Amino acid sequence: MGTSRNVERRTILKAAGASAAALGLAATTGCGGDSGTSADGTVTIRYSWWGADERAKKINQTIKLFEKKYPKIKVKTDFQDYVSFWEKFQTQAAGGNPPDVFQNAVTFLRKYDKRSVLLDLKPQIDAGTLSLDNFRAGVTKVGEVDGKQLGVPVGSNTMALVIDKKVFQKAGVEPATGWTWDDYFKALKTIHDKTKVPGDTGYFSIMYLYDLYLRQNGKAFYTKDGLGFDKADLTEWWQDGYSRVKAGIITDPKTVEQDRPKSSLSAGHGASEFTWDNFTVRYTAEGSSEYGLAPIPTMDGKHTGQYLASLMLSASARTSHPKEVAQFINFMVHDPEVGKIMGYDRGILASTQQYDAFKPTDPVNKEIAQYEADTARAGVLGTITPHPSGADTIEAAFLRIGGDLAQGKTKPSAAVKQFFDESQAAFQA
């Protein structure tokens, strides 16, 4: 299941995404084609996702396992980068021809449920075709909307703070569980003063982080039907962030733009960045320093506002093969061999069978697994904030307008008004 300077949305996948044709995939798992049933009773379903080449290679390995176990079900695949995926999906959904099963995220559940695109999987669960047993605590709730099961998680993650360990050590700053926002901002200044490296790459335009901050203060980014905060709340948040950019302790947004598709953290132009915990592998691949996970700052030293988000598999309400789709989803979320192949590509594995089957051997993935285990053990995880229809548009607006503010293209008051105006329009669309 996102994104924040949502690396999945804006950077990793957009930069590394490719079409299935570019991989030269076999015809049995090629793009396009309609779902259907052949003369011998073989059923074909279409499966689409967003991701980079490496994800596609892994998923196609898992499909071979599935087709071996279910020889009467064939799977045609299609994948793009994040932006292209949703552009294509929207066109397919509007035309009444979405894929039978597809990768999904909480941001889109209400949007496409409202348009009657998503299949309620509860009948297949009740029939025993699809199981919601043996999942890590709380994960399956992410796919529930108004009593319907619209998605089943394949992996979970939570927001974290990724740090450049060498820069933090050089500055003599050591993040600790329970540190406050005041502690964090003091740390950013210390880092900048002692190393001349900005302490953070731009926290204040990350929607999911602001959601945590609001949750720490008894609010949330969303209610069921709208925004869960007012203009005064956002003005304070954005004015505070803008002031820190001007003070030099936040990376200059022009530098952030120049560094793309790399992160300014891995480019050495920032010492920390808020993102999803399983994205830590990205910084290790891009950068030359040593990166690790640090706790989310708090208001009271305890409540972080964190929750488990997830990537999930959803199905089309128009599929002609609900049973076969349910069998496919069930296999993909429970089969241990699938877990071994996928690893933490889509987050920490959601089902206990797959979680137990995959044993990370590299330091980065071990740290990711330990971070989630420690966070769960701390008892701070809550229920994910509901995302109303239009949340995808609102997330993009938050990132874009926050970036304009950081660059001085607009003032905090004007930025806040623009965001609320665009949000209202998104809710009504």
What confidence tens digit (pLDDT) does each residue in 159-186 have? 999 999 999 999 999 999 999 999 999 9
Fill in the DSSP letter of residue 141: G
Distance CA(270)–CA(275), nearest Å, equals 14
Count the neighbouring beta carbons within 10 Å of the beta carbon of residue 318.
Answer: 14
**Residue 35 pLDDT:** 63
Do both 81 and 175 map to the same domain?
A: no
Element (H, E) at 310: strand 309-315
Do both 189 and 153 map to the same domain?
A: no
pLDDT tens-digit map of 24-45: 233 333 333 466 677 788 999 9
Distance CA(357)–CA(40), nearest Å, equals 36
Domain that holds residue 196: 159-306+384-428
Do both 312 and 328 map to the same domain?
A: yes
**Residue 34 pLDDT:** 60
Do both 280 and 313 map to the same domain?
A: no
The secondary structure of 235-280, three-state, reads HHHHHHHHHHHHCCCECCHHHHHHHCCCCCCCCCCCCEEEEEHHHH
Does a structural domain hold residue 146? Answer: yes
pLDDT tens track, the chain, 429 positions: 443 444 444 433 333 333 332 222 333 333 334 666 777 889 999 999 998 888 999 999 999 999 999 999 999 999 998 889 999 999 999 999 999 999 999 999 999 999 999 999 999 999 999 999 999 877 898 999 999 999 999 998 999 999 999 999 999 999 999 999 999 999 999 999 999 999 999 999 999 999 999 999 999 999 877 999 999 999 999 999 999 999 999 999 999 999 988 899 999 999 999 999 988 888 988 899 999 999 999 999 999 999 988 899 999 999 999 999 999 999 999 999 999 999 998 989 999 999 999 999 988 889 998 998 889 888 889 888 778 999 999 999 999 999 999 988 999 999 999 999 999 999 987
Q: How many domains does the chain have?
A: 2
Do both 123 and 260 map to the same domain?
A: no
Do both 296 and 318 map to the same domain?
A: no
Does a structural domain hold residue 1? Answer: no
Do both 409 and 349 map to the same domain?
A: no
Instruction: Report yes or no: 267 and 251 within 8 Å, Cβ to Cβ.
Output: no
Do both 284 and 317 map to the same domain?
A: no
Instruction: Report yes or no: 267 and 258 within 8 Å, Cβ to Cβ.
Output: no
The residues near 263 (Cβ < 8 Å, ≥ 6 apart) are 5, 7, 11, 201, 270, 273, 282, 283, 286, 287
Distance CA(3)–CA(54), nearest Å, equals 20
Distance CA(93)–CA(113), nearest Å, equals 11
Reading phi first (left if > 0) and then psi (alpha if -120 to 50, else beta), residue 403 is in alpha
pTM comes to: 0.82
* CATH number of the domain that residue 348 is part of: 3.40.190.10
**Residue 6 pLDDT:** 42
Q: Which amino acid is at 418?
A: Q
Joined tokens for residue 68: 């071996």
Do both 104 and 199 map to the same domain?
A: no
Residue pointed to by tokens 């599929």? 319
Does a structural domain hold residue 143? Answer: yes
Do both 346 and 394 map to the same domain?
A: no
Does a structural domain hold residue 142? Answer: yes
Do both 45 and 134 map to the same domain?
A: yes
Distance CA(67)–CA(213), nearest Å, equals 45
Instruction: Report yes or no: 407 and 206 within 8 Å, Cβ to Cβ.
Output: no
By residue count, the chain amounts to 429
Distance CA(125)–CA(131), nearest Å, equals 6
Does a structural domain hold residue 192? Answer: yes
Distance CA(138)–CA(143), nearest Å, equals 10
**Residue 280 pLDDT:** 84
Fill in the DSSP letter of residue 89: H
Give the strand pairing for 101-105 and 43-50.
Answer: parallel
Do both 225 and 125 map to the same domain?
A: no
At residue 209, φ and ψ (nearest 5 deg) are: -70, -45
Distance CA(366)–CA(14), nearest Å, equals 26
Domain boundary among 358, 376, 398: 358
